[in-house]
Amino acid sequence: MARISWINDESHPDLDAHVGKLEHFTQSLADGVIDAQELATQEKNLVAAMKAVEGSLNDDQHTKVTKLLAELTAYSVMRTLHEMLQARVQQAVSVKK
C-alpha cells in the first residue's frame, strides 16, 4: 500500500485523509457535539496508539516523534483558536450589515 504523506503539495500539514479513517472520530462528529464519553474514548485511543509506538522507538526517534506530537498539538490548538476567531469576526460583520 502506498504511503500517504503527512504534508500536501503546498507544504501544509494534511492529515485529513488519515483522520477521516478514524471511525470513532467521524461518528463522534456526526451530531456536531463531542460529549465527555466520546472524548474519553478518543483519549483511550490516543494512549493506546502512543503505547504501541513509543516502545518501538530508539532514543533519537523518540525525541523526534515527541517533537512532532508537541508541534502537532500546538498547531491544532492554534488553528482551532484562529478559526474560532475568524468565525466570530464573520458573525460580527454579518450582524452589522
**4: amino acid identity, one letter:** I
According to DSSP, the residues that pair with 13 across neighbouring strands are: 7
For 35-46, what is each residue's pLDDT tens digit?
999 999 999 999
Q: Which residue has the cell 463531542?
A: 34
Q: What angle do CA 60, 62, 80 make, to 5 degrees?
A: 130
Give the per-residue pLDDT at 48: 96
For 51-68, what is each residue's pLDDT tens digit?
999 999 999 999 999 999
**CB-based contact 16:8 (threshold 8 Å):** no
